[in-house]
Amino acid sequence: MSEMYRPSLHFSPKRGWMNDPNGMIKVDGVYHLFYQHDPDSTDHGPMHWGHARSTDLVTWEELPVALYPTELGTCFSGSAVETAKGEVRLFYTAHRRVDGEDYQVQCLVHADPTLTTYRLDERNPVLGNPGLVCFRDPKVLWHKRSGRWIMALTHGQSIGFYASEDLDSWTFQSSFGDRHGRHSDGPWECPDLFSISDDRGNEHWILLVGIGSGAYAEGSGTQYFVGHFDGTTFTNSNPAETTLWLDYGRDFYAAQSFFDRTGSAPTVVGWASNWQYARDTPTQSFRGVMSLPRTLSLVDTGSGLRLAQTLPHSVLSAFQSTSDQSTYRRELEVTLSVGQSAVITLFAERQPHFTITRVAANEISITVVRRQIAAAPAFAHTYRVSGAYPQKGPLRLELCVDRGLVEFATGDGLTWITQLFFPSASDGIEIVQG
């Protein structure tokens, strides 16, 4: 586990390939993280479900592979739920090729309360394919007001919603996405749907959608919609052309929240990579890292309701107590006049990685720079992110560095930028203001 580029506070598998988080659930105080996994290769191959668990979202125990390919296909992304009777069920997409085309159906798995034994439902698939090439990534949740289970599924360039009384039989309700948000040449993926309250206690619904290419910072990213869901239809609260991003970095994709019957604030984890170069990163025994967990809240920004993200207390404590000098968290404050910049340089390098410039009285521009690595031509980039500067006082910055993985936040958690680096030195930070 001592490989050079392996973070110490972010989950990574001991060996093999990992991409999207799925099946995330908290049961009896234990967080379970499943993930897309090929245990036999560091490249994307036949998908299994890897499995890890934690009681604090920091120290993860990797467990044996949970789901294996069957005659219905390999095990694509999905979700996990716990019923009122304490029954745990997993849902995943079985994927195979038929006559040269992708063919995808939804399958059900029964798990024990410790999530260590699994039984495939004999009726699989529980939801057959209605004729769609892209029909995958079931996110299942309980909708209290309608008193039934809801499944959100990608339909390619939209998200379909299905309902069930018993988690066995599913009926199509509606779809959302046509002409809303960001679209590209690739399908929408890995939907997530959950309720969240604003600071007045009003309920809203959040729909997360992964976009494999054409995101804000090129390649993969996670967009979200704020709206209402009545158990049948999702209604966007913003104009259709509004595009909101959970993270503005190049390495935060397929974010999913934990299913938690206690009603705690939603906590999400994303895959810290990008399909433009995920297969080319220079690790050896493993390939793939998860982001830090982030707890979500809904904030009225004046421009509308937006998601803010904060790190759980257990994660903050882990940064404080670690003895690894290449893993650290810094809370910074900079006071900038219009036209002034602050420069952050990491890993004892000479050229800056983040340049924060106050471009107007209430606006900043963050220039993000990453240099080339061998065998991954799409890795290098320079781009800009806009953010808010407070009307009074300094600008607060939060910088989390875990060897080569950097998660940078400002705007009281409204703006996050996650970047994967593979530096020759993993420590060293310099901040210059002027």
CB neighbours of 275 closer than 8 A, spacing ≥ 6? 212, 213, 219, 220, 253
Residue at which a domain ends, from 311, 341, 356? 311
| Residue found under tokens 């953010």 | 387
Residue 138 and residue 270 in one domain = yes
Task: Decide if 194 contacts 266 (C-beta within 8 A).
Answer: yes
Does 12 map to a domain?
no
* Res 2: pLDDT: 60
Task: Decide if 376 contacts 273 (C-beta within 8 A).
Answer: no
**What is the Cα–Cα distance from 205 to 208, expressed in whole angstroms?**
10
Residue 181 phi/psi, 5° resolution?
A: 65, -155
Does 141 map to a domain?
yes
Residue at which a domain ends, from 254, 281, 311? 311
CB neighbours of 323 closer than 8 A, spacing ≥ 6? none
**What is the Cα–Cα distance from 139 to 143, expressed in whole angstroms?**
12
Does 9 map to a domain?
no
Residue 425 and residue 382 in one domain = yes
Residue 387 and residue 283 in one domain = no
Active-site annotation holder among 20, 137, 192, 247: 20
Beta bridge partners of 152: 139, 161
Number of domains in the chain: 2
Q: What angle do CA 71, 77, 83 make, to 5 degrees?
A: 95
- What's the CATH code of the domain at 302? 2.115.10.20
Taking the C-alpha atoms of 151, 156, 157 and 159 in order, what is their torsion angle to the nearest 10 degrees? 0
Residue at which a domain ends, from 265, 291, 311? 311
**What is the Cα–Cα distance from 213 to 190, expressed in whole angstroms?**
13
Does 327 map to a domain?
yes
Residue 242 and residue 391 in one domain = no
Residue 300 and residue 393 in one domain = no
Cis check: omega of the bond before 125, within 30 degrees of 0: yes
Residue 262 and residue 335 in one domain = no
**What is the Cα–Cα distance from 247 to 77, expressed in whole angstroms?**
21
Residue 106 and residue 217 in one domain = yes
For the chain, the C-alpha Rg in angstroms (whole number) is 21
Residue 343 and residue 289 in one domain = no
Residue 306 and residue 337 in one domain = no
How, if at all, do strands 16-27 and 286-287 pair?
A: parallel
Residue 351 and residue 283 in one domain = no
Residues belonging to the chain: 434
Does 237 map to a domain?
yes
With CA atoms as reference, report the closest residue to 408 among 379, 366, 372.
Answer: 366
Does 357 map to a domain?
yes
Does 14 map to a domain?
no
Contacts 24+ apart (CB under 8 A), 142-147: 142/81, 143/229, 143/231, 145/230, 145/231, 146/230, 146/231, 146/232
Does 16 map to a domain?
no
With CA atoms as reference, report the closest residue to 318 among 336, 344, 292.
Answer: 292
Task: Decide if 332 contacts 303 (C-beta within 8 A).
Answer: no
- What's the CATH code of the domain at 332? 2.60.120.560
Domain that holds residue 348: 322-433
Residue 286 and residue 361 in one domain = no
List the strands of the sheet with 267-271, edge to edge: 253-257, 267-271, 294-300, 305-310
Task: Decide if 91 contacts 138 (C-beta within 8 A).
Answer: yes
Task: Report helix, strand and coil shares of the chain as percent, to nearest 5.
Answer: 5, 50, 45
Residue 286 CA to its chain's centroid (Å): 19
The yes-or-no answer on residue 28 being catalytic is no
| Residue found under tokens 């060996």 | 15
For each successive 10 residues of the chain (434 residues), what is the average pLDDT? 85 98 97 98 97 98 98 98 97 95 97 97 97 97 97 97 97 97 94 96 97 94 98 98 98 98 94 97 96 97 95 98 93 95 94 96 97 90 96 94 96 97 84 80
Which parts of 252-346 fold into alpha helices (H)?
A: 313-321
Residue 279 and residue 331 in one domain = no
